[in-house]
Amino acid sequence: MHYYQFNIADYRKDTVHLSRLEHSIYRDLIDWYYLDESPIPLETQSVMRRLRLVSEEEAKALENVLSDFFYKADGWRHRRVDQDIIEYHAMAEKNKANGKLGGRPKKTQSVSSGLPNESQNNPNQEPITINQEPLKEKEKEKEVRAPRFDAQAHLVSMGVEAAKARLALSDALSMCCQRGWVGFKAEWMRDQDQVSSKNQPRRPTLHDERAYTSAALTGKIPSSTTFEQFMAGSQQGDCRLIEGEVIHAS
C-alpha cells in the first residue's frame, strides 16, 4: 500500500504519552508495515538496522513502542493496520471485477418517444391511489424480497479468514473457485492438511533396512526382492516384522 488515511484525532489520543523519539519510531514502523503489507520482524536487531537506531536509548524507545501498540504472532502485528490492508485488497478485487464487466454500470436514462402515454389517451381514467389493490401487491413483494447480498463485507470476512490461514486473499478466492466453495474458513485448510498427512505412506526407518538385510541373508525372502518391494509388501500386510525377523503371513 502506497497510501493510507491518517486520523489525527485518533493518533493524538493514543500517543499522547510518547516521547519525541518514540513518536518518530512509531510513525516509521507504521509506514514500513503499510508499505510491505507484512508484520514487523520479531528480530530486534534487523528492525533497529532498518530504522537506523544505534544507541541504547533508541533501542529502549523501540521496545516501548512495540509493547504499547503491537502484539506478537508470526511477527509484530498491528490490528488497525491489518484491517486496513484487508479492506484495501477487498476493494481492489471489487474494482477488478467491475473492470472486467466494463466498469461501473451506467445509470439508465428515460427517453421520450414523443407519443402520448396511457393516461393521456384516456383522460377520464381515475388515478390509482394507495388504497387500491395493485399498489398493495407491490408492497407485499417488497416485504418478501430477499435481503441484498453485501459483496464487500463478504470479501472482508474472507480476507480475515485468509490471513488466519496465512494465505493471500487472491489465493483464497482462487481456491474457492477451484473447489466450488461459496466462502472460506481457516479451519478448512487445517482439515485438508490433516487428511493429506494421513494419506502419506510410511517412511522407511533404519529398523526396516536391517530387517530387509536379515531376511535376504537368511533366505526368508527371494534374493530378487528389492527394498521397495519389501516395504510395499510390509505395508500391504503381505509380511510383518516381529522382534527383528520377517515372517510371511499365512
- Domain for residue 147, yes or no? no
Longest dimension (CA), the chain: 113
Q: Is the same domain home to 225 and 167?
A: no
Residue 146 reports pLDDT greater than 70: no
Q: Which of 57, 58, 77, 106 has its CA nearest to residue 166? A: 77
HSE-CB at 107 with a 13 A cutoff on CA atoms is: 2
- Domain for residue 122, yes or no? no
Helix (H) or strand (E) holding 89: helix 79-100
Q: Is the same domain home to 85 and 66?
A: no
Q: Is the same domain home to 83 and 73?
A: no
Q: Is the same domain home to 25 and 62?
A: yes
Look at 16 and 171; give whichever has higher pLDDT. 16
Q: Is the same domain home to 65 and 159?
A: no
Q: Which of 72, 68, 33 has its CA nearest to residue 51? A: 33
- Domain for residue 2, yes or no? no
Count how many domains the chain has. 3
- Domain for residue 137, yes or no? no
Look at 165 and 70; give whichever has higher pLDDT. 70
Helix (H) or strand (E) holding 77: strand 76-77
* Interval 167-200: pLDDT, tens: 787 888 888 888 777 787 878 777 666 555 555 5
For the ranges 70-84, 151-165, 166-180, 187-201, the lowest mean pLDDT is seen at 187-201
Q: Is the same domain home to 56 and 158?
A: no
Q: Is the same domain home to 84 and 191?
A: yes
- Reported in sequence order, the residue ranges of 89-235 that DSSP labels E, i.e. its strands, are none
Residue 169 near residue 158 (C-beta atoms within 8 A): yes
Residue 243 reports pLDDT greater than 60: no
Q: Is the same domain home to 170 and 90?
A: yes
Look at 188 and 133; give whichever has higher pLDDT. 188
**30-43 per-residue burial string, b: 16 or more CB within 10 A, e: under 16:** beebbeeeebbeee
Quote the domain boundaries for residue 171. 79-101+152-199
Confidence (pTM): 0.40
- Domain for residue 227, yes or no? yes
Q: Is the same domain home to 85 and 194?
A: yes
CA pair distance 172, 166, nearest whole angstrom: 10
